[in-house]
């Protein structure tokens, strides 16, 4: 039997009808049962400002408290201007401060980027990896996950419509489960 693990899901889009949130939900549906997922919403986080470290805003505290106890983090993000959406970068900064108290430290992670474009969010995926190196988060390297998500990608029930991308999504989430064990397994 696999060790139960908790995973925070951080979606880099705050749009109501975000394809990245839909993709995250579809991936959770494919995940091994020993993984428990919870969304760590980032849309209400005030911009990081070091001057507020002494008396952090309540949304910062709640976000940090959501990330701190989990075993791993799954990032699912679009690409904005060939990089990470500002709201996601802000969440990373909020969680990494005050210096020396990062809630991200040593948490295994996977990055999945999704976009309607053929490149599938390649730029955001790689820019996010740069931050994760500094945050000491072991990021899953393979399989790489840059998905082109068109209007017929999802079924009405939110599952992935076509067999090939659904199979690839299954490979990604199974690989992430193994990656968590590689980094946390005792």
Q: What pLDDT is recorded for position 151?
A: 83
CA distance 78 to 80: 7
List the pLDDT tens digit at each of the 186 positions of the chain.
589 999 999 999 999 989 999 999 999 999 999 999 999 999 999 999 999 999 999 999 999 999 999 999 999 999 888 889 999 999 999 999 999 999 999 999 999 999 888 777 888 999 999 999 999 999 999 998 988 888 889 999 999 999 999 999 999 999 999 999 999 975
CA distance 74 to 51: 29
Q: What pLDDT is recorded for position 186?
A: 57
**CATH number, domain containing residue 169:** 3.40.50.360
Q: What pLDDT is recorded for position 147?
A: 87
The alpha carbon dihedral of 18, 95, 93, 7 has a sign of negative
For the whole model, what pTM was predicted? 0.95
End-to-end Cα, the chain, rounded Å: 14
Q: What pLDDT is recorded for position 1?
A: 57
Please choose, from the candidates 50, 55, 139, the residue with its C-alpha nearest in 3D space to the C-alpha of residue 93: 50
Q: What pLDDT is recorded for position 158?
A: 94
Q: What pLDDT is recorded for position 21?
A: 96
CA distance 25 to 152: 16
3-state DSSP helix/strand/coil % of the chain, to nearest 5: 40, 20, 45
Task: Encode burial over 144-175: b for 16+ CB neighbours within 10 A, e otherwise.
Answer: ebbbebeeebbeeeeebeeeebbeebeebbeb
Containing structural domain, residue 81: 5-184
Please choose, from the candidates 29, 32, 9, 33, the residue with its C-alpha nearest in 3D space to the C-alpha of residue 21: 9
**Based on the structure, what is the number of domains in the chain?**
1
Helix (H) / strand (E) element for 10: namely strand 5-11
Q: At 40, phi and psi to the nearest 5?
A: -110, 95
């Amino acid at each position: 039997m696999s060790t139960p693990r908790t995973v925070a899901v951080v979606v880099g889009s705050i749009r109501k009808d975000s394809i990245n949130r839909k993709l995250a939900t579809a991936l959770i549906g494919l995940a091994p049962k020993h993984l428990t997922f919870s969304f760590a919403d980032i849309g209400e986080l005030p911009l990081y400002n070091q001057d507020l470290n002494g008396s952090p805003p309540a949304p910062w505290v709640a976000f940090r408290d959501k990330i701190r106890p989990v075993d791993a983090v799954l990032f699912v993000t679009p690409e904005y201007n060939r990089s990470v959406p500002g709201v996601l970068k802000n969440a990373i900064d909020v969680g990494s401060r005050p210096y020396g108290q990062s809630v991200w430290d040593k948490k295994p992670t996977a990055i999945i980027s999704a976009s309607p474009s053929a490149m599938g969010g390649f730029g955001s995926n790689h820019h996010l990896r740069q931050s994760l190196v500094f945050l000491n988060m072991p990021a899953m390297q393979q399989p790489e996950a840059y998905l082109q998500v068109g209007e017929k990608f999802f079924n009405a029930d939110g599952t992935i419509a076509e067999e090939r991308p659904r199979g690839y999504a299954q490979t990604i989430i199974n690989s992430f489960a193994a990656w968590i064990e590689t980094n946390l397994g005792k």
